[in-house]
Amino acid sequence: MTADVSSSRLSPRRGARFLLSTALALGLGLSLAGCKTSAEKAEEYYQSGLQLLEQGDVDRAIVQFRNVFDIEGTHYEARKTLADTYRAQGDIGQAYSQYLRLAEQYPDDLATRIALARLAFDSQQADEFVRHATRAQEIAPQDAEVQVLDLTRRYREATLAEDDKARASLGEEAARMAQTRPDDPMLMGILLDRAANARDLDEADRLTARLLELQPDNPQRYAQRLALLAERQDKPAIEAHLRATIAKFPDNDQAKADLVRFYMSENQPDRAEAFLRDLAEAAPADDPAPRADLVRFVEMQRGADAARAELDRIIAEGGDPLLFRTLRAGFDFRDGKQAEAIAEIRSVLDGVTEPTETSLNVKVQLARMLVETGDAAGARAQVDEVLAQNASQPGALKLKALWDIQEDRADDAVLALRSVLDQAPQDAEAMSLMADAYDRAGEPDLARDYLSQAAAASNNAPAETLRLADRLMSEERWRPAEDAILPALRRTPDNLDLLGALGRIYLSMPDLPRAEGVITRLREIGTDQATAAADRLDLARLANQEGEAAALAYLEQQANAADADIGAKLSLIRAQLASGQAPAALKLAQDMVAADPESRAARMALAMTQAANNDLPAAREIFTALIAEKPDDLPPHLALIRLATQEGKLDEARTLTEQGLAALPDNPDLLWSKAGLAEREGDIDGAIAIYDQLYARDSTSIIVANNLASLLATWKSDDPAAVARASAVARRLKDTTVPPFMDTYGWIQHLNGDSAAALPYLEGAAAALTQDAVVQLHLGVVQAALGKTDAAKAQLEKGLEMLPEGQEGQSITAAREALARLNAPAQAGEAASNGTTGGTTGGTAGEPLGDAAPAAGQATN
């Protein structure tokens, strides 16, 4: 049976559906065929970037690699290629950032860790180097690259630890590795350090030259090469190298300054000036710095008048009047025309309608001038105005930080200085101030670190270097102190302060041959100051090497020489008095006066030796005559006051002090004397007021700080504001090992509720100051607060037995009450529950006893 044709036809509605479905299917098929996955798009950008790199179009290649991350942020190959590209271009910051992102995404990727470690090492990021080198070691300890990193890390640790034996062994290991990796910069760096220590200048020459070939864009390699050439005294090569450095790094101000110093060391000031003039002429109009450098050089070489003439020329040629008139005013200020200079700068600023970077800098300069002239309020007003216009202006922030430090707001100073260093990471002045701030905050390790950074940032300038060296010497870290001074001496080889410090370091090591070398160098310089410095070092060398008798013989030889001046004789007298040879000192002083009866120095020496020989009336007569002749001469005043105090004549000492202050108003030494006398007589408020005055004038004095804090904590312990002030002033005493300072700091810790922290300080103070009753009582009170009942009883009884008859005071009363509570704890507890303690402290065994503070006599002179 045939099918009915009509039954096989599609109805119009059904046909339309079929066609629609087909069209959708075809359309969907076409759409799927033309669409790429995210991975495919990312790969296309990556391949495009590679092609652009091959064609040398680095900028567009970088754009393509970054496009990859918009689609696929974890694309390893693109991220690594981008990091490698930045590294090849010398953009170390961007390279490091990309490698770091890669390390976050692929923490076990060895190549990334190696790259990060090497970049961190080259950019002197020590902590980052150690972090990535350590991780690489964990991932693949047998990898040759990793072994180099690990060796470098261990060599660095041995250097920091001053472990010469370990350094030598690791240096030999580096030499073995270098046989198969002769051009590895890290190994070459170790070998260079080893060659420098061995004074193998030929090997150092080879290494620095090769490192410069391998890393021609690394400024450190230029500095290393310069140091080698300076060591070899290859002067033509030094000049050529400095000019090559400037050509390679046109913005390297240090290289320019080094070239100027080189010309000056060669006695070629004309060439130095010509070089600076070339820089000034080549500088764009909106860069006044080279012209300013030229002006300063002209002033240094030919004086202020020549510099003023140079400034007049620059101003006439269109130089920025705001800057160059301010410079001219600076010369006037230094010449003593302070009022005129300040008026000139104010006049210049009157023409400023909108604040600019230059105008704000000029206002800061005006503030510095006002500080120097004693107008602190005016200076602060200028700084406030600058900060209102630009809250992050570096110069104003540094002045504000300085004032914060002086007023014991160390934390505020640190915040301000961090802002400065965020803008200018190599600001040596900010780093020095940061060291001061951390000193005030009782953080000596951080302070030392910033002193080291300041010395490096200043390119080993003498001032910053000496601050660092002095700190290291005070900690008896002789080798690091030497390492700090030697680079500075290479730049300024005839600097007497640096040479003197180096000589003292060698004497302290001891390294007598090298100390003698410094003495010889000072004598070669030959100026009066250099000779005097050599004599001082020679004397110390003799004392160290041959003893006190040899040193005295040396002084006698100098004093008896035909051309001996009075200084040599006075040095001998001081040494004789210090060694107990008072009769010999008296004889020499008498001879000096007989030779020159009008000499004030000789008469002063005679009076001092008379006092040492117990002829007090004769000494007093000379001191009194010297004062009558010249009332504003300080030493005779102090000597008379000292005599009266030694004899227990406190009324006379007070009268003499007032007489001295009448002739020398506000003299700090006389004020110090007055404060001590006030303290002895029980005028504690008067003594605090004087120490406050002294502290306001010079808050850097640690002794003034100790005494002020001690008195505040002693006599104002019930005043929270006074205790807070004492705490702020005494923060710098943290970690002190000076017994009186330990007592002050420990007691303040106790008053602040931290008796556990106070205990080791007070134990140390009590062990050293065994005859000071109040120090013993402090320890006992703190032991009681910590529940050390038996020890506290014994300590308090000991301290009370030591007290002179009739001596009383708040701390003594508090100690008696503490002992009473320990002896009768039940009665004390019952009285406390009834609210009738009857004492002034109100403390318990676990609380600080507010009034149990140190007696005034604990303040240290």
User: What's 772-829 look like in SS3?
Assistant: CHHHHHHHHHHHHHCCCHHHHHHHHHHHHHHCCCCCCCHHHHHHHHHHHHHHCHHHHH
In the predicted model, is pLDDT for residue 200 greater than 80?
yes
Rounded distance between C-alpha atoms, residue 553 and residue 561, angstroms: 12
Burial of 154 (0-12, 13-18, 19+ CB in 10 A): middle
Residue 829 included in any domain: yes
DSSP SS3 for 657: helix
3-state helix, strand and coil shares in percent for the chain, rounded to the nearest 5 = 75, 0, 25
Of the pLDDT bands very low, low, confident and very high (cuts 50, 70, 90), residue 345 is very high
Looking at the fold, whether 723 and 690 belong to one and the same domain comes out as no
Give the residue from 412, 434, 458 where a domain finishes.
Answer: 458
Looking at the fold, whether 489 and 622 belong to one and the same domain comes out as no
Looking at the fold, whether 758 and 857 belong to one and the same domain comes out as yes
Instruction: Give me the chain's average pLDDT, please.
Output: 85
Residue 375 included in any domain: no
Tell me: cis bond preceding 510? Omega within 30 of 0 counts: yes
Residue 271 included in any domain: no
In the predicted model, is pLDDT for residue 593 greater than 60?
yes
Q: What is the pLDDT of residues 223-240, one digit of tens each?
A: 889 988 888 888 999 999
What's the CATH code of the domain at 415? Answer: 1.25.40.10
Mean of pLDDT values over 245-256: 86
Number of DSSP helices (H) and strands (E) in the chain, helices first: 48, 0
Q: Which two tokens stand for residue 675?
A: 């404060």
CB 157 within 8 A of CB 173: no
Mean of pLDDT values over 620-634: 93
Residue 136 included in any domain: no
Q: Lowest mean pLDDT of 213-222, 337-346, 412-421, 463-472, name the range.
A: 213-222
Looking at the fold, whether 727 and 630 belong to one and the same domain comes out as no
Higher pLDDT residue, 813 or 477? 477
CB 607 within 8 A of CB 592: no
Q: Residue 399 belongs to what domain range?
A: 392-458
Of the pLDDT bands very low, low, confident and very high (cuts 50, 70, 90), residue 346 is very high
Residue 515 included in any domain: yes
Looking at the fold, whether 656 and 646 belong to one and the same domain comes out as yes
Mean of pLDDT values over 376-405: 95
CB 702 within 8 A of CB 846: no
Instruction: Note the pLDDT of residue 274.
Output: 92
Q: What is the pLDDT of residues 635-680, one digit of tens each?
A: 999 999 999 988 889 899 999 999 999 999 989 999 999 999 998 8
Give the residue from 698, 729, 756 where a domain finishes.
Answer: 698
Task: Write down the pTM of the prediction.
Answer: 0.68
Instruction: Note the pLDDT of residue 560.
Output: 63
Q: What is the pLDDT of residues 106-143, one digit of tens each?
A: 999 999 999 999 998 888 888 899 999 999 999 999 99
Rounded distance between C-alpha atoms, residue 524 and residue 535, angstroms: 13
Looking at the fold, whether 425 and 495 belong to one and the same domain comes out as no
Question: CA angle, 266 as apex, 263 and 270 as ends, to 5°?
Answer: 50
Looking at the fold, whether 444 and 488 belong to one and the same domain comes out as no
Residue 34 included in any domain: no
Looking at the fold, whether 453 and 466 belong to one and the same domain comes out as no
Burial of 448 (0-12, 13-18, 19+ CB in 10 A): buried
Q: Largest alpha-carbon pair distance within the chain? A: 163
Residue at token pair 């410079």: 327
Looking at the fold, whether 858 and 719 belong to one and the same domain comes out as yes
Q: Lowest mean pLDDT of 199-213, 281-295, 480-494, name the range.
A: 281-295
CB 132 within 8 A of CB 96: no
CB contact burial 760-789 (16+ within 10 A = b; e otherwise): ebbbbbbeebeebbbbbbbbbbbbbbbebe
Looking at the fold, whether 654 and 529 belong to one and the same domain comes out as no
Rounded distance between C-alpha atoms, residue 293 and residue 573, angstroms: 49
DSSP SS3 for 509: coil
HSE-up of residue 742 (Cα within 13 Å, Cβ side):
19
Rounded distance between C-alpha atoms, residue 412 and residue 434, angstroms: 11
Question: CA angle, 668 as apex, 664 and 673 as ends, to 5°?
Answer: 95
Give the residue from 432, 458, 484 where a domain finishes.
Answer: 458
In the predicted model, is pLDDT for residue 833 greater than 70?
no
DSSP SS3 for 586: helix
Looking at the fold, whether 726 and 861 belong to one and the same domain comes out as yes
Q: Which two tokens stand for residue 374?
A: 């004693």
Count of domains in the chain?
4
Of the pLDDT bands very low, low, confident and very high (cuts 50, 70, 90), residue 91 is confident
Rounded distance between C-alpha atoms, residue 515 and residue 521, angstroms: 10
Q: How far is CA 691 from CA 2, 694, 699, 709, 860, in A?
A: 129, 5, 10, 9, 12
Mean of pLDDT values over 145-149: 93
Instruction: Note the pLDDT of residue 661.
Output: 94
What's the CATH code of the domain at 531? Answer: 1.25.40
Residue 194 included in any domain: no
Of the pLDDT bands very low, low, confident and very high (cuts 50, 70, 90), residue 12 is very low
Residue 537 included in any domain: yes
Rounded distance between C-alpha atoms, residue 775 and residue 741, angstroms: 11
Looking at the fold, whether 537 and 625 belong to one and the same domain comes out as no
